[in-house]
Amino acid sequence: MSQELTLSVFEKKGVVERMTQVGMKKADVLREISFSLQIIGQNPDLKDGDPIDILEAVANLANMGLTLNPAAKEAYLISRYNRKLNRKKITLEPGYIGLINLAIRAGGIKSMTVQTVYEGDDFRMNIADNGAPIFHSPCLVKSKRGEALGVYALATLPDGSRQVEWMDIEEVREIRDRSESWKAYNEGKIKTCIWLTDFSEMSRKTVVKRIVKYLPKGRGPMQEALQYAIQADNEDYSADTWQLLEIEQLSKALDDNAGRLLESELRGGMTRDRANQVIYQLRDMQPPNDPRYGNDSPTAAKKALEKLH
């Protein structure tokens, strides 16, 4: 159960080391772990989640360059339905503010505003006008404001010009309908999902992800973090170099047959989710004299492979 998670568990499972290895200061790592434990303690759905899911979700903060600080609203721990696993899985999900901040830090844009347009708003758009492509005066009387019509992202580039992306509400819903969580909700497999509880947030993030495809690319680690965050949000990404190196190191304890089977799976392509399952299982099977993982279970190659599959 995730309520058993403590700082020592994050350290024992290598999460603290992993996050510092990719450039985070240890003080920042400890602060993010503290945020995660507070968030988990306040959310029953997260509290009952798989601890391995939580460890991986928190570790991904280092790759995304975001924070779980609730005040920043950059990233969230979300319990989402995973069709491959046929269960809910806790994941790290970037918010639209987090994606915008990464794009700014990467240097591709100076700023970005994202807004929903409702019936009753005074809204005009001229995509050919690089100076002021949007005029939007929201209806301030709630009772006169109608249904959502769409959402737009307006980015200011380093040279001062502006670029706009518009999505009508039907486009947003089409993307929502492709979400595994939304499908699971409609199939009655889960009682709620983020597209139901936070439609406005998700629609904003949807248009941000689209405009980022067409914006000038930034440089350096923050641009890589932005791409990683988008890939993570799409839940369809491959194992990273750190994971592959970790598996290579830990799999030395496997016998030849088990090693060949694992190697075959790696050649076939391994997702980040699958790679982390393998890593945590292999860590638990290391010899008792391995000080890195504090494991007192004997290595059993055949059982290891069985557990991995």
Please indicate, yes or no, whether residues 170 and 106 belong to a single structural domain of this protein. yes
3-state secondary structure of 121: coil
Question: Of 202, 234, 266, which one is at a domain's C-terminal end?
Answer: 234
Position 303 scores a pLDDT of 46
Please indicate, yes or no, whether residues 88 and 62 belong to a single structural domain of this protein. yes
Position 290 scores a pLDDT of 58
Please indicate, yes or no, whether residues 114 and 52 belong to a single structural domain of this protein. no
Please indicate, yes or no, whether residues 214 and 100 belong to a single structural domain of this protein. yes
Q: Is residue 223 part of a domain?
A: no
Domain that includes residue 291, residue range:
241-308
User: How far apart, in whole angstroms, are the C-alpha atoms of residue 198 and residue 190?
Assistant: 16
Position 278 scores a pLDDT of 87
Tally of domains in the chain: 3
Question: Of 72, 92, 112, which one is at a domain's C-terminal end?
Answer: 92
Q: Average pLDDT by consecutive 10-residue portion of the chain (309 residues)? A: 72 91 93 95 89 92 95 95 83 96 97 98 94 95 94 97 97 89 90 93 96 92 92 68 84 83 78 76 74 45 45
- Give the tokens for residue 185: 């909700």
Position 6 scores a pLDDT of 86
pTM: 0.75
Please indicate, yes or no, whether residues 197 and 85 belong to a single structural domain of this protein. no
User: How far apart, in whole angstroms, are the C-alpha atoms of residue 280 and residue 282?
Assistant: 5
Tell me 271's DSSP state. Answer: B
Position 208 scores a pLDDT of 98
Please indicate, yes or no, whether residues 59 and 104 belong to a single structural domain of this protein. no
Using CA atoms, how far residue 65 sits from 23, 221, 225, in Å, is 10, 9, 6
Please indicate, yes or no, whether residues 127 and 209 belong to a single structural domain of this protein. yes
Please indicate, yes or no, whether residues 100 and 203 belong to a single structural domain of this protein. yes
Please indicate, yes or no, whether residues 190 and 213 belong to a single structural domain of this protein. yes
Please indicate, yes or no, whether residues 80 and 103 belong to a single structural domain of this protein. no
Q: Is residue 120 part of a domain?
A: yes
Position 219 scores a pLDDT of 87
Please indicate, yes or no, whether residues 29 and 111 belong to a single structural domain of this protein. no
3-state secondary structure of 92: strand
Please indicate, yes or no, whether residues 205 and 278 belong to a single structural domain of this protein. no
Question: Of 61, 92, 123, which one is at a domain's C-terminal end?
Answer: 92
